[in-house]
Amino acid sequence: MSSPLPPEQDPEAVEAAMLKLARAAAATGCRAFTTSPKAPDPVPTTNLGWLITAPVEMALMQAEFALMIHHARLVGVENAGKARKRINAAIFAEFDRPTLEAGATQ
């Protein structure tokens, strides 16, 4: 009989933690999920879609990135990308999409 994985090695537990952090980031209004904020040329945009406004939001972002990297190591990059899409869909379903998208333009 195999023993259960510790939470930090359990991909489902790590994904659940990522979802909790994404909810916290969405609740602060610091996160946009589908597209990057528009930047004037020639300033390059990224695919991160983050808008950082204060130290709390920065801490949420750093924590979520750390979990995303750890999750990718556990399940592989392709499966981690699929999990990221599931998380984004869950956040969009839970929070008001126009409000989230407006946050990226502020």
Secondary structure letter of residue 76 according to DSSP: -
Across the strands, what pairs with 31? 50
Q: Indicate the length of the chain as a whole number.
A: 106
Q: What is the pLDDT of residue 47?
A: 44
pLDDT digits (tens, 9 = 90+) for 8-17: 888 899 899 9
**Is pTM, for the whole model, over 0.75?**
no
Boundaries of every domain in the chain? 10-103
Phi and psi torsions of 4, nearest 5° = -65, 150
